[in-house]
Amino acid sequence: MRIVITGASGFLGARLARELAARAALVDAQGTRRAIREIVGVDSVAAGGDAGAGPPITRVIGDLADPATIERVLAPGADTVFHLAAAVSGAAEADFGLGMRVNLDATRRLLDACRALARPPKFVFASSLAVFGGALPDPVPDDAPLRPQTSYGTQKAIGELLVDDMTRKGYIDGRSLRLPTVTVRPGRPNRAASSFASGIVREPLSGVDAECPVTPGTRMWVISPRAVIDNLIIAHDAAGAAFGDTRAVNVPGLCVGVGEMVDALREVAGEAVAARVHWRPDPVIERMVSTWPANFAPVKGLALGMRGDSDFAAIVRAYVADDLPRG
């Protein structure tokens, strides 16, 4: 199989490439488990490191909104596309044109290129819980209406509908995963409105103070990097018929208050580390985060075999084990 990963230099893309290289096989659109012969990682910036043992990884640097980049990546064919590349929520809200170009135009061009392939590929689209908003039941069911309250959420909702329609037409075998907020992300903060959910753990564990722009009572639907990667692969390998009348699925997560996240940090690392978190509410961030539902009933995701995390302390411990810089 030839696998394409967009956003491959990002945190999740790089981790997914390593996991696929280690597993070395996936289930194709015909339901057959096949060896992965090549992984193609495309991004606007270069990736560091490699995947270690396993199928070779081809690196492509380019703009997905540029048809030439998509042609270069997909012309040799693809059995699967993992579409993870995106302009994050804060960036898409601050720059409407950027969000439309990266989150919508590039997705449309990528889907069109898949439609032109000789054999329909599997297409795994990283969507977001930001497709929901407004008055919602608690917990949010799988079939809740899409009422995004941000440009990012709107762009992701349109992407989901395109994936559904092109699957209906037989151009792709699609599945859209509405990802919870992923924490703890290693590296530097980004412009996602949810970036603080990693920063309030990552920075204190590295000896650096962190500001939290929302109140301790703010609740979020979160997931660990380990669980996200497992769920991406589970969704990929699942039979299309298992998704029912829409290929979109709410990924299982953990409903937790931000204050409880800091309490979990205190449990794992001690009071001195937790004391590095300072509460400084930012009305802009609070307004965006408040539009995101914080509790879900992910029946379809669980039926597909996906899982969330047991508690936030386990997420902190996983970050310490997997990603905390040493020395």
| Active-site residue set | 152
Cα–Cα distance list, 307 to 80, 249, 256 (Å): 22, 13, 16
| Tokens encoding 67 | 């048809």
Side chain identity at residue 15, one-letter code: R
Strands (E), 101-147: 122-128, 140-141
Look-up of token digits 């690196």: 59
> What are the two backbone dihedrals, phi and then psi, of residue 63, each rounded to the nearest 5 degrees?
-95, 120
Place of tokens 């497992």: 230
Written as six digits, the tokens of 92 are 């898409």
- Determine contact, residues 11/187, Cβ cutoff 8 Å: yes
Give 212's DSSP letter.
E
* CA–CA dist 111, 194 (Å, integer): 28
Q: Which of 174, 169, 73, 140 is CA-nearest to residue 294?
A: 140
* C-alpha distance from residue 296 to each of 129, 253, 276 (Å): 10, 8, 31
At 169, is the secondary structure helix, strand, or coil? coil
Which region holds residue 140: left if phi is over 0, alpha if psi is between -120 and 50, else beta?
Answer: beta
Q: Which two tokens stand for residue 251?
A: 């990924």
